[in-house]
Structure 1
Amino acid sequence: MLYAQVEVTGGKVKVFLGQFQGKDAENCRKIVSRDLLQTLLVDVSPEENQRYEITARLSDKVLEGILVDKVKKRELLHKSFVGTDMRQAAHLFSDALLEALTGIKGFSSCKIAFISSDTGFKELYMMDMDGEGLQRLTADKTISAHPRWSHDHSMIAYTSYKSGYPDVYIIKLAKHSRIRFSFFPGVNSGASFSPDDKNIALTLSKDGNPEIYIIGIDGGPPRQLTRNRATNTSPCWSPDGKQIVYTSDERGSIQLYIISSEGGQPKRLITGNTYSSEPDWSADGQKIAFSARIGGQFQIGIFNLNTNQASILTTQGGEDPSWTPNSRHLVYASQGSLYLMDTVSRQSIKLNCELKHCSEPSVSP
C-alpha cells in the first residue's frame, strides 16, 4: 500500500468525499465521514479542490473504495471491502483510508465493551466505535465490571456479582453463551486474556489477600504470580505475553508494577503520582496507559517504557483508559460518558452513545 507523505501531529489531513454510488450510498458516505472526523486526524472538507478525493461504489455487501492524490495524479488506495453488512464494510474502508493517508492504523471497525448503570444496575454493553450497533450483553440486575476482550474478538471476560459474590464470567459472542469461568471463594476479578488467548490473568483471594494468578482458558489449577500482603489487582498482559502490569498497594499507595508472566520479582513503575491504577498496555509494547488520581480527580496518564517517564494527558478528568490497536488513540470514561483521545495532540472527542452512566470501556484489539 502507498502512503501519502503527511506529517500528522496537531494538524489534520483535508479530504473531499466525492461520489458514492450504489444502494444506500448516501448512508455509507455519512458513516465514512463520521469515522474519519472521529480519528481527529482527518478533516472532511465540502470543497472539491482538496488534494485527496474519496469515492466508492457499493453492491450487495461489497464496497469498492478509491482514494486519489489529485496532485500526483495517482491512486493511493483502490480496494474492495466485504463486511457482514454495509456498515462494517464502510468501517473497514475508513480504516484503510486513515492508514493510506497517514500511515496510522485505523480503528473504526473496532468495538467497545463497557459498563452502564442506565437501568439502575451495572450491566455490560457492546457497541461500534461510532456508537451504533448497541447491544446489552447482560440483564442480571446486579454489578458487572472490568470487561476485557479476547484477542480474536470472540470472547469478553468480565466480573459479575450474579451469584452474590465476585466471579469471572466469559461471554462467547458467536454462540450467545456465557460460562462461569472462575468462582473460587472470595474475590475473582479483573480477568485479562493473554495475547494468544490461551490463558487468563486475574485477581483471586482464595488463599487470603488478593493476588495475581494465571488460569488456562481450558481450566486447570491457578498459578500464583504475586506473593505479598498487599491488594494486587487489574492485571494486563504485554503484547508479547512475557510480562504483566498490575496495581498493588504493597508500599502503601496504589501503584503500577510489572512482573514476568512466569513469576519472579516485580518491578515498580515510578509514575510520579501517589495513586496510579487501571493499566492498559499498548499494542506496540511501548506505553502503558493508566488512571492517575490527582487532587481528588482521576486523569489519564501514560507511562513510556522507553524513557521510563510518565505524563498526564487530561486536565478535565478521565479514567479506565483502553488503547485502540494503533497504540496512538485510546478510549476512556469521564463523568458518565465515553471519550476518544489522540494521545499525540491530546485532543479528545466525546463518543456517540445513547446511554448515560458509562464506565470501564474496553476496545477490541
Structure 2
Amino acid sequence: MSWSQVEVTGGKVDVELLPFSGPEGARAQAIVRADLIRTLLIQVTSGAHARFEATAAMGSGSLTGRIIDRRQKGPPAERTFTGDLRTIAHQFADMITQQATGVSGFATSRVAFISQDTGFKELYIMDIDGANVQRLTADRSISAHPRWSHDGALLAYTSYRSGYPDVYIVKLEKRTRSRVAFFPGINSGAAFSPDDLTLALTLSKDGNPEIYLMPVEGGSPRQLTHNRATNTSPSWSPDGKEIVYTSDERGSVQLFVISAQGGSPRRLLTGNAYSSEPDWSPDGKKIAYAARIAGEFQIGLYDLASSTATLLTSGGGQDPSWTRNSRHLVFAHGGSLYLLDSVTKQIAALPNGLSRCSEPSVSP
C-alpha cells in the first residue's frame, strides 16, 4: 500500500503498540518500544489519538509485524521477520520507524568503540541499544580509531600492541585480525572506501603525517596529500570520489577535502579555529565534525550544498559517527556514548555498562 510521508522536524509521531502475541511477545514488545523511543522521532502512546497502531505475532524464531496508519484507508503494512528474537524485534522497530516517520531506522546497527574500563584502551562492539557488548581486544595497550567496512564484516583500527601505532583489520565472523599497515613511524586512522577495497589512512613513513591510500589486504600505499603539516582522520565521500580529512597546514586544525585521485585540497570554512574528526554522511550531503570552542569540544555539522556550518550540541561532544539514515549521529562525551538527532538536536544516552568510552563508529 502507499503511505503518506510524515515529515518529523520538531514534534514526534504518536505510535500505539498493541500487545504482541506469543510466549515471547512481551519481551519483543519491550525491545521494540525502547527502539522507537530511542529514535527521538516517535512517542509510544496509547489511545485513539495515536496516528499509527502496531502489533506483532511471535512464533518460533519469527515475528509477523503489522502497522496501520489510522488516517489512511487500506490494508495494514505487514511483514514477517525470521531469526533470533532481538534481531527480528529490531527489524520490526525499523519498519515502524520508516512507515511512521519516513526516516530509516537504525535499531539493527552496531557500534564499535574504545573503552578504558579495564584500565587500557581496548576495542569493543555493541548493539546500538547498548546490549551485546563484546570486547575484541585484550592487548593491555592502546587501541584507537575503529572504522567499519561497508559490508559490516570488517573493522579497521589502530593499535600500539607492538609498541608503535599500526593498523589492524578484524574479521568479525572469524574473530581474526591481521596487521595491514606497519611502516616506520605512524600508521593510523584507517577508513574503508565505499567498495571496501581501499583504505585511506595516515602514514608518516616518508616524513610528516600524510594521507595515503592503500589496498585493504595490504600493499604499496599511494600518497594523497603533500605538505609539511600533520594530516589525519580521513573519511570517504559515499561515492568514493573525495576524502575529507584534518590538517594544520594553515596553523590550526581544520577540515579539508581532496579528490581520491589527488590534486589540490580545498578548505571547508567552519568558522571555528579548531575542527577535527570529520565523518561524511551516507547521503553525501553533510560532514559531522568536532569543533573546539572555548576549550570544549562540540559536535558541528557542515552542509556541503550551502557551505555553511552549525553547532548541534552545547553541552560537549566528540567523535561523531553517522547512522545509516544520515540524520542521527552517535558521539562521545564525558566517557559515555550518546545518540543525537541532527535536525531537532535532541540527545539520548546509550548506556552499555562500561566507563571511559570514546571514538564510536556506527555500522552501515
* Alignment partner, residue 273 of structure 1: 272
* Aligned equivalents of 2:137, 2:63: Cα separation in 1: 33
* Alignment partner, residue 344 of structure 1: 343
- How big is the shift at 1:96? 1.1
- How big is the shift at 1:19? 2.1
* Alignment partner, residue 56 of structure 2: 56
The one-letter code of the counterpart of 1:151 is H
- How big is the shift at 1:2? 3.3
* Alignment partner, residue 2 of structure 1: 2
* Aligned equivalents of 2:325, 2:3: Cα separation in 1: 16
Residues 194 and 76 of structure 1: is their aligned pair in 2 closer, same or farther, counting only changes over 3 Å?
Answer: farther
Do the aligned residues in 2 keep the contact of 1:3 with 1:99 (CA within 8 Å)?
no
> Where does structure 1 differ by over 6 angstroms across 4 or more consecutive aligned residues?
none
* Aligned equivalents of 1:58, 1:217: Cα separation in 2: 42
SS at match of 1:5: coil
Residues 1:113 and 2:112 are matched in the alignment: yes
Residues 1:310 and 2:322 are matched in the alignment: no
* Alignment partner, residue 100 of structure 2: 101
Do the aligned residues in 1 keep the contact of 2:278 with 2:320 (CA within 8 Å)?
yes
* Aligned equivalents of 1:171, 1:23: Cα separation in 2: 37
* Alignment partner, residue 30 of structure 1: 30
- How big is the shift at 1:74? 3.2
Q: Deviations over 1:192-212 (max 9, x none)?
A: 000000000000000010000
Q: Which moved more, 1:91-100 or 1:47-56?
A: 47-56
Q: TM-score, normalised by structure 2?
A: 0.98
* Alignment partner, residue 178 of structure 1: 177
* Alignment partner, residue 251 of structure 1: 250
- How big is the shift at 1:73? 4.2
| 1:75-224 correspondence runs (5 A) | 75-83=75-83, 85-224=84-223
* Aligned equivalents of 2:204, 2:24: Cα separation in 1: 53
Q: Deviations over 1:70-126 (max 9, x none)?
A: 33343452111123x110011111111111111111101000000000100000110
* Alignment partner, residue 297 of structure 1: 296
The one-letter code of the counterpart of 2:90 is H
Residues 345 and 49 of structure 1: is their aligned pair in 2 closer, same or farther, counting only changes over 3 Å?
Answer: closer
Q: Deviations over 1:283-326 (max 9, x none)?
A: 01000000000000000000000000000110000010000010
Return 5+ residue gaps in structure 1 as ranges: none
* Alignment partner, residue 17 of structure 2: 17
Q: Deviations over 1:24-68 (max 9, x none)?
A: 111100000000000000000133552311110111222111001
Aligned-pair identity (%): 60
* Aligned equivalents of 1:28, 1:130: Cα separation in 2: 14
* Aligned equivalents of 1:308, 1:19: Cα separation in 2: 48
* Alignment partner, residue 358 of structure 2: 359
- How big is the shift at 1:181? 1.1
The one-letter code of the counterpart of 1:354 is G
Return 5+ residue gaps in structure 2 as ranges: none
The one-letter code of the counterpart of 1:79 is R
SS at match of 2:34: helix
* Aligned equivalents of 1:55, 1:172: Cα separation in 2: 37
Do the aligned residues in 1 keep the contact of 2:19 with 2:26 (CA within 8 Å)?
no
Structure 1 vs Structure 2 CA RMSD: 1.1
Q: Deviations over 1:208-254 (max 9, x none)?
A: 10000001112221000001000000000000000000000001000
Residues 1:66 and 2:78 are matched in the alignment: no
* Aligned equivalents of 1:352, 1:66: Cα separation in 2: 30
* Aligned equivalents of 1:75, 1:299: Cα separation in 2: 46
Higher strand proportion: 1
* Aligned equivalents of 2:137, 2:326: Cα separation in 1: 29
Residues 75 and 111 of structure 1: is their aligned pair in 2 closer, same or farther, counting only changes over 3 Å?
Answer: farther
* Aligned equivalents of 2:208, 2:161: Cα separation in 1: 22
